[in-house]
Structure 1
Amino acid sequence: MSDRSEAELIRALTRAADAAPEPVGDLLGTIDRRRRRRTRRRVQSALAVAGVVAVICGGTAVARGVFSNRGGEGQILAKTTATADASARPTGAEEPGKIAVRPAAEVWPAAVTKIPAKAADGWKYRPITGLSATELLLTAESSFEKAGRLEVYDTATRKSTVLADMPAPEGVKGYYAQDVEVGAEYIAWWGETPNNSDKWADFWVVPRTGGTAKRVGEVTGDLSRVERIGVAADSVVWSVIDGGIYRMPLTGGSPEKIEGTDGLHLMSWPWAADVAQEAGEDWEKNQTKVVNVEEGIIGNVDAPDGVQGLRCGEVWCYGKEKEAVMVQGTGGLERKTLPGLSSMGGERPLAREFGFFGVSGVVGRDAQGEEIEDAQVPLGVVYDPETGTMAGIGKRDRSGGGSYGTGTSSSPTSIVYWDEDERQVEECKMVDAESVPRPSGAPAPTGKTRSCTTTQKGGGKELTVVNLLAVP
């Protein structure tokens, strides 16, 4: 996996900031979540050292779900940082395009529950996905992003059961388990050494009923640039960043490329697409195919004019149309727009092809022109394409900020979660403008500029979890 220079990183951030929709800016929305893992961790560390998010020049920074891979650096939950006091009274009219969304707990009460944030031994839980309407698959982390075991939490009995340990391979330093995937018979995951330059990855499986994890094998070079994984009855499968799908027998052996998968990217085995599913430099490119790799069935996607970033599952597609989200069937039927929501080039569909979008809490501006956030507006919206139902997720604190996370499964997760007791405390000060990162070759600014840091406080006891497998 090739690294980029710090100058290129700054340019990527600048491009993302320029492309972000107003008033919700996504400074990281066009940075690939997996394509440049070490680069992303540098972004993560720069913006979020010790739980602090920096906002320069009073702008709004939004980082939604882009820090999912494990490497021991950065934040657990995505951060939304407000820049104005939500209690201030607006001086102008309400921002256009606002939508009213009820909380998920009101819309789908059976799907929302609270779980402990930590196991009995103090290891922190990170949700992966739902196994059923009442069973949640979790990793337990001994330290930040260091997954050490799989557990199943039963929301009916309020009890957790250890499914398997997640060991590191012998003799491998700096190893971190990455995304987990649930199959019909097995649960699989892959790992890498993300903080060094090795082009290397390995794969593990454990029976879905639990037991001792088995290391299937390892890959090097371009085959180690894992994008997503799947697990079939007899093999682990994965797609690589540049496209192409490979398999390795569960009994071990050499990897082989699956015939006819050039340029394809896994969505959820056996389904694949002809564009990467993650946010990246080419996120505006529209998907044109939905492919069943096992059966060799190819379905064409009807991409309407003016839509960007069209991403489809087996049945439904989502894209960006002007300042709204567009949803349609893969064949172009049942097309509609969802004004007031933003895909920001970063949010991927959830399980059951539910959509997941950002929503602005801005209701006006104060006398200084700063945005005013409504603390009652959710941080994000989950959308059911079958019924047209929308449900709000996350909780803004009084400043309008907040955080949420999505499950770390490789295929679309059924889980969105947040910590309702967490709050953000913002402090601002004037700093030398020349200390602010700038694109390579740009002239050094002079004078002072406003720099704000938002520190995470509180929380850590319970997580509020929405499990879409429990939605009627």
Structure 2
Amino acid sequence: MNDRDEAELIRTLARAAEAAPEPVGDLIGTIHRRRRRRTRRRVQSALAVAGVIAVIGGGTAVARGAFFNRGGEGQVVSKATATSPSEERSSTPTASPTGRPRETVLRSAAEVWPSAMFKLPVQAADGWRYQPVTGLSATKLLLTAESSFEKAGRLEVYDTATRTSTVLANMPDAGVKGYFVQGYEVGAASIAWWGTTPNNSDRWADFWVMPRSGGTPRRVGEVTGDLSRVERIGVTSDSVVWSLTIGGVYRMPMGGGVPERIEGTDGLHLLSWPLAVDFGAKESGSTYRNQTRVVNLETGRGTEVKAPEGVKNLRCGPTWCFGDWGDEVLVQKLDGSDRKTLPGLSSRSDANNVSGRFGMLDAVEGANTGDYLSSLVVYDPDSGFTVRMGTGNGGTWGRGISSPTSILYWDEGKKQVRECKTVDGRILPPQASGEPVPTGESTVCSTKEVGGGKELTVVNLLAVPPTE
């Protein structure tokens, strides 16, 4: 297996982890098979990679300990280079001339966006745990306070300037056994959310709404059958809207009533009201399929995406698109202009766009030394900065539980500790077809998290000026 093959293996495993069914036992070891969608948003990193064994010559098997949101050690800059129309490629790009994956050297969020970073206590004064939802402004953050794991008891607004929190509302009891809120959406005047019972076979969901300024939440209504296969929600001045995992966008008046399918939305998936796209959750098909258009559901106007041949996993927001083009990430506007390539990065199948402007990507650092470390990075097309989330100590990361969200966060106190042991190579799992069977003693390494639990480091992308 050469260096390029190993880099591609890392990227493939990252996508497979994102698209895989929910594991039995969540990644924190607290619950089993709970809330498929939110769990993947909250803890994106430590999936099955530690169990992947690579045979590296001499009969020695080594698991590289590459957890998919671990930071690397590099510090300084990476700016993309634009390609002129005459330089555009019409087929899949090739590897770098050396045969090794080219790497992007990353800057830390603390260095590039210090005004957008702040500390948030993990717990409220009463011991309930905070969960970031999204930014309301450059200095205000919407939170839930959870009485137990993923059981939201309050909605609060945290002021990053004064480091104080204000209660917006107590979350109502839905009166349904096994009920969990799945996601939130913040509109101009309202906050909406939806919930369901993910641990049973009921095909049912409900919608709630409350004033953005605070007040008493009220249930808008509920849906059953295929209409309960909610993928993402939005909120307008008079309705709650949602798209289905199988495609199609619906609305329900805030005063309650019969769900109505929005005309012309067959095969569309809500991005953030009023925008919808023609690629959605994993139930919609291959994660490598490209998005081809963005539709404004208020005006009915659709914009076709113009992309070069060979691009895969292309995802677009209001302005920018991100996808894989050979060994690099392609960045361009919807019409194909301002095209750039980012070496050493790969796209994500879950949500490339955050806060409507930034690209959320994966970076594999250490490819040239053979010590693969994967980091979450945010790319800003406006400034050209590629920014690592985290400090380089490893650990998991999370993003806010609204769609879209402006919030990414991690626990700087958590560190990953690598442990290795020597085992009989004959007991290791079978390798890929054609690979030699391990013989003799082999070294197997795994990584676990230790420490943390006091405060979160939060990046609010609403606080990043367009020119930074």
CA distance in 1, matches of 2:170, 2:6: 41
Corresponding residue for residue 267 of structure 1: 271
1:29 counterpart letter in structure 2: R
1:69 counterpart letter in structure 2: R
1:239 aligns with 2:252: no
CA distance in 1, matches of 2:322, 2:363: 16
CA distance in 2, matches of 1:339, 1:279: 30
1:176 aligns with 2:158: no
1:417 aligns with 2:389: no
- Once the two structures are superposed, the pairs formed by residues 244-263 of structure 1 within 5 Å of their partners are 244-263=248-267
Task: Go from structure 1 to structure 2 and tell me whether the alpha carbon gap of 1:268 and 1:424 turns closer, same or farther (over 3 Å shift).
Answer: same
Cα deviations across residues 358-409 of structure 1 (Å, max 9, x unaligned)? 11122555xxxxx4257xxx82221111222222211232xxx422111111
Cα deviations across residues 291-325 of structure 1 (Å, max 9, x unaligned)? 01111111111121111111111211111101111
Cα deviations across residues 428-454 of structure 1 (Å, max 9, x unaligned)? 454897796999xxxxx9999766543
- Indicate the SS of the match to 2:226: helix
CA distance in 1, matches of 2:395, 2:112: 21
Corresponding residue for residue 22 of structure 2: 40
1:408 aligns with 2:401: yes
- Indicate the SS of the match to 2:147: strand
Contact 2:104 2:342 in 1 (8 A): no
Q: Which of 182, 201, 221 is the matching residue for 1:217?
A: 221
Contact 1:415 1:468 in 2 (8 A): yes
CA distance in 1, matches of 2:427, 2:173: 43
Task: Go from structure 1 to structure 2 and tell me whether the alpha carbon gap of 1:75 and 1:307 turns closer, same or farther (over 3 Å shift).
Answer: closer
Corresponding residue for residue 427 of structure 1: 419
Corresponding residue for residue 388 of structure 2: 392
CA distance in 1, matches of 2:410, 2:371: 23
CA distance in 2, matches of 1:28, 1:279: 18
Aligned length: 411
Q: Which of 13, 21, 29 is the matching residue for 1:50?
A: 29
Task: Go from structure 1 to structure 2 and tell me whether the alpha carbon gap of 1:84 and 1:30 turns closer, same or farther (over 3 Å shift).
Answer: closer
Cα deviations across residues 246-287 of structure 1 (Å, max 9, x unaligned)? 011111111111111111100000100111166975121111
Corresponding residue for residue 77 of structure 2: none
Task: Go from structure 1 to structure 2 and tell me whether the alpha carbon gap of 1:436 and 1:167 turns closer, same or farther (over 3 Å shift).
Answer: farther
- Indicate the SS of the match to 1:105: helix
Cα deviations across residues 36-84 of structure 1 (Å, max 9, x unaligned)? 8xx4243x64xx36289xxxxxxxxxxxxxx87347x997453386836
Contact 1:265 1:276 in 2 (8 A): yes
Structure 1 runs not aligned, ≥5 long: 1-18, 53-66, 88-92, 366-370, 440-444
1:206 counterpart letter in structure 2: M
2:405 counterpart letter in structure 1: T
- Once the two structures are superposed, the pairs formed by residues 455-466 of structure 1 within 5 Å of their partners are 455-466=448-459
- Once the two structures are superposed, the pairs formed by residues 62-461 of structure 1 within 5 Å of their partners are 69-70=37-38, 76=43, 78-79=45-46, 83=64, 96-170=101-175, 172-276=176-280, 281-362=285-366, 364-365=368-369, 371-372=370-371, 379-397=375-393, 401-410=394-403, 412-429=404-421, 430=423, 452-461=445-454
Instruction: Report the alpha carbon displacement of residue 346 of structure 1 after superposing the two structures with TM.
Output: 3.8
Corresponding residue for residue 60 of structure 1: none
- Once the two structures are superposed, the pairs formed by residues 7-26 of structure 1 within 5 Å of their partners are 21-22=7-8, 24-25=10-11
Task: Go from structure 1 to structure 2 and tell me whether the alpha carbon gap of 1:74 and 1:105 turns closer, same or farther (over 3 Å shift).
Answer: closer
Instruction: Report the alpha carbon displacement of residue 209 of structure 1 after superposing the two structures with TM.
Output: 0.4
CA distance in 2, matches of 1:433, 1:119: 50
Provide the alpha-carbon RMSD of the alignment: 3.4
Cα deviations across residues 192-211 of structure 1 (Å, max 9, x unaligned)? 11111111111111100011
Task: Go from structure 1 to structure 2 and tell me whether the alpha carbon gap of 1:304 and 1:96 turns closer, same or farther (over 3 Å shift).
Answer: closer
CA distance in 2, matches of 1:355, 1:84: 25
1:396 counterpart letter in structure 2: G
Instruction: Report the alpha carbon displacement of residue 457 of structure 1 after superposing the two structures with TM.
Output: 1.2
Task: Go from structure 1 to structure 2 and tell me whether the alpha carbon gap of 1:281 and 1:402 turns closer, same or farther (over 3 Å shift).
Answer: farther
Corresponding residue for residue 462 of structure 2: 469
Cα deviations across residues 183-240 of structure 1 (Å, max 9, x unaligned)? 0010011101111111111111110001111111111111111111000011100000
Contact 1:327 1:336 in 2 (8 A): yes
Contact 1:31 1:279 in 2 (8 A): no
Contact 1:264 1:275 in 2 (8 A): yes
- Indicate the SS of the match to 1:29: helix
- Indicate the SS of the match to 1:110: helix
1:27 aligns with 2:17: no
CA distance in 1, matches of 2:8, 2:113: 30
Instruction: Report the alpha carbon displacement of residue 336 of structure 1 after superposing the two structures with TM.
Output: 1.1
CA distance in 1, matches of 2:333, 2:145: 38
CA distance in 2, matches of 1:100, 1:226: 39
CA distance in 2, matches of 1:322, 1:337: 10
Contact 1:267 1:277 in 2 (8 A): no
Identity of aligned residues (%): 53
Task: Go from structure 1 to structure 2 and tell me whether the alpha carbon gap of 1:437 and 1:213 turns closer, same or farther (over 3 Å shift).
Answer: farther
Contact 2:232 2:242 in 1 (8 A): yes
Contact 1:226 1:241 in 2 (8 A): yes
CA distance in 1, matches of 2:120, 2:340: 36
- Indicate the SS of the match to 1:360: strand
- Indicate the SS of the match to 1:169: coil
Contact 1:70 1:177 in 2 (8 A): no
Task: Go from structure 1 to structure 2 and tell me whether the alpha carbon gap of 1:23 and 1:271 turns closer, same or farther (over 3 Å shift).
Answer: same
- Indicate the SS of the match to 1:379: strand
